[in-house]
Amino acid sequence: MWDDAFPSFLIGLREGLEAGLIVSILVATLVRAEARSRLPQVWTGVLAAIAVAMSFGAVLTFTAASMPQTAQEAFGGTLSVIAVAFVTAMVFWMRRSARNLSSELKQKVTGALAMGSGMLVLTSFLAVGREGLETALFLWTTAQAAGESAGPLTGAAIGLVLAAGLCWGLYRRVLKINLTKFFTATGVVLIVIAAGVLGYGLRDLQEGGVLPGRTAYAVDLAGSIDAGSWYSTLVQGVFNLMPTMTWLQVVAYVGYLVVVMTLFVRGVRATAPKPKPKPEPAERPAAEAPTGPRPRTGRRPAWVIPTAVVAVPAVIAGLAVALGRPKPAGDQTVAVSETDCGKGFTAPAPGRQTFRMHNTGRQASEVYLVDPSTNAVYGEIEGLAPGTTRDLVATVAGGTYAWRCVPASGRAVTSKPVTVRGGGAAKPVTPVSEQDLAGPLKAYKAYVGHGLDTLVGQTGTLRRDIEGGHLDKARTDWLTAHRTYASLGAAYGTFEDFDKKIDGRADGLPGGEHDKDFTGFLRLEYGLWHGQSAKELTGPARQLDTDAAGLRKAFPSQDFDPGDLPLRAHEILENTLQFELTGDTDEGSGTNLATADANLTGTRELLTVLEPLLTSRSPRLLPTVDADIDRVRKLLDAAHDGDHWTPVEKLPAAGRQRLDGATGQLLEDLAPVPDLLEIRKSA
């Protein structure tokens, strides 16, 4: 967690020390002027500044949480860039002002004493408020980068507590710190951290579609760096440097670092030779500073103003959060049934809305918010049971909308359309029909048919190897044939019982590997790599060849559900991660990674036939997935030399983590495919 905590610790320490020094100077000035009765006014201003900063942080957090994912990324990226600007300005301001901060504040306090209590509250509020807002903004951006980690808040809390202790020691004259050197050193480190935050913010803007170049990678070290290692985690957390960075990120990072660091170092050198000013006397006579008018009593209770300065920002923040969250669209409860779909639906306002869907019928139903002219889907609920109510959240813009209720049995029912006036943008999912998938299905069936032709020839060769006693050659030909079969992954559900015969595992069989029902590739693998004779393996080899030929003959007439294509895009590699990359299906050959590589080939072929449908619905998905596949393939290529593959259990721990992580990222990026290409009933 320290890698996420360090940047926030540093900002908490530095900003806390700045604010603490300001408060210490304000308090010391009043004490020396014998105006202790005015101290509550200083603390009231400080309290108001803290309340505003915390309220600002709450608004950022809860407002962003209610946005769509792309809007969150654009919002977070924008605020990251703003935070970098604030931190940069703060670093340069403190470099210039550290020497004269005390005298400037004392002059302001002296003037405020003469002008009344309100000015003293305002002076302390403005002096501390800037640090508070900067801290809230910077902490929010670092917390966004850390995801669910508690590191940023923990680091900031430690930094603020330490800063408070240092300020108390300085006020009591227990500690002596060269503040100029302190702010210079921390300024250098903050500039480096801010460069990383800038790169992270620009990446968010690319992910949110605000800036181009999302897949234009300048650096892609995911295949050679373990993202989960301690050193990688430390670099990512502290400096926001990722194994994969776009050209925009790299150029911005280097450009910011070179320009800002050069200006900062030059400024430090320019101010360094100045002689130290003579220290001021420890105490000033009371007469030297005007005490100002004494505060009047009897006007209001002492707790009123402090309570107000805390309550007002909190109330405003609460209103901002409440107004920024999605609300039920006009307090609508929309009825769902087999005969009366959409009762109670009226035109909502543009924006992100929540609809309460109540099933008044007798059947479970699918519910879709659609554009009736195109059937584009803006939101959906699957399996809404009778008598139940669930929320459906969707973003609506100017256009025409209707509800479509699809009961478990019977025809779909579509409500009367309503028209929404106004602007905004909403991204519906264009529905897919069986007819849309007919072309990809035909192309993929042709690919599988060709693969089965090849497989039958290879299993015949394998059978002849074993019959002739050429077991060394059989081991090589076994891997060739098994990889061919593994590359047909999207059709496994269609192969029916043939898949269990050809590539079934021994798990669950009473006799395990020695069970009579254990057949196919894994049975031969066990025998070939456990010293069984050609005589013992001839029967299983002939059975595999027979089953492969039977599958080739049966496949053209087998029922291949077109809905399996988008589902298998994710499931092939899900099984790879579960079985091949754990070594669970290794029966002695140590070639699980070769099987994983064949599964990757099958996935790419499947995405190729689905490309027209995916590109029209999510243009950015396939470039991202292609980059992920290339990353996994590089890691697999590094694990074999010719026909020799490194067994999974012999991979270095870091290499295995990299491979698992890259495959997991690929699975995450493939996850939207089934939803994008789901066959939805439209009539």
Mean pLDDT of successive 10-residue segments in the chain (683 residues)?
A: 61 72 72 75 79 76 59 70 78 67 60 61 70 70 57 75 80 64 75 81 78 77 57 62 82 91 78 49 39 48 60 65 50 82 87 86 89 87 87 87 87 90 75 88 93 96 96 96 90 79 88 91 95 95 96 90 85 89 92 95 93 88 92 91 89 88 90 85 56
What is the Cα–Cα distance from 405 to 411, expressed in whole angstroms? Answer: 9
| Contacts of 275 by beta carbon, 8 Å cutoff, 6+ apart | none
- 601, burial (CB in 10 Å: exposed 0-12, middle 13-18, buried 19+): middle
Beta bridge partners of 359: 336
Q: Which residues of 438-450 are buried (b: 16+ CB within 10 A; e: fewer)?
A: eebbeebbebbee
- Which pairing describes strands 351-359 and 327-336: parallel, antiparallel, or unpaired? parallel
Distances (CA, A) of 358 to 332, 333, 354, 369, 387: 10, 7, 13, 14, 7
Q: What are phi and psi of 399, to 5 degrees?
A: 155, -170
Find the DSSP H helices in 116-220: 117-146, 151-171, 179-207
Question: Given this model, what pLDDT does residue 666 score?
Answer: 92
Amino acid in position 30? L
The answer to whether residues 321 and 312 touch, using CB atoms and an 8 Å cutoff, is no
- Whole-number Å distance between alpha carbons of 51 and 72: 25
* Cα 81 to Cα 16: distance, rounded to the nearest angstrom: 22
Strands 217-220 and 244-246: antiparallel
The interaxial angle of helices 434-467 and 592-617, nearest 10 deg, is: 160
CA 491 to CA 565: how far, in whole Å?
A: 8
492 vs 457: CA distance, rounded Å: 20
DSSP string, 374-424: TTEEEEEEEEE-TT-EEEEEEEE-SEEEEEEEEESSS--EEPPPEEE-S--
Which residues, in sequence order, are bridge partners of residue 396?
351
CB 27 within 8 A of CB 175: no
**Residue 645 amino acid letter:** W
Q: Which amino acid is at 427?
A: K
Instruction: Considering only CA atoms, give the Rg of the chain.
Output: 34
Full-model pTM: 0.54
Query: Alpha-carbon distance 412 to 336, whole Å?
Result: 11
Give phi and psi for 332, each to the nearest 5: -85, 135
What is the greatest pairwise CA distance in the chain?
114
pLDDT score at 458: 97
How many CA atoms lie within 13 Å of 575's alpha carbon, on the beta-carbon side? 18
Nearest to 482 by CA among 619, 637, 587: 587
Alpha-carbon gap, residue 121 to 45, rounded angstroms: 5
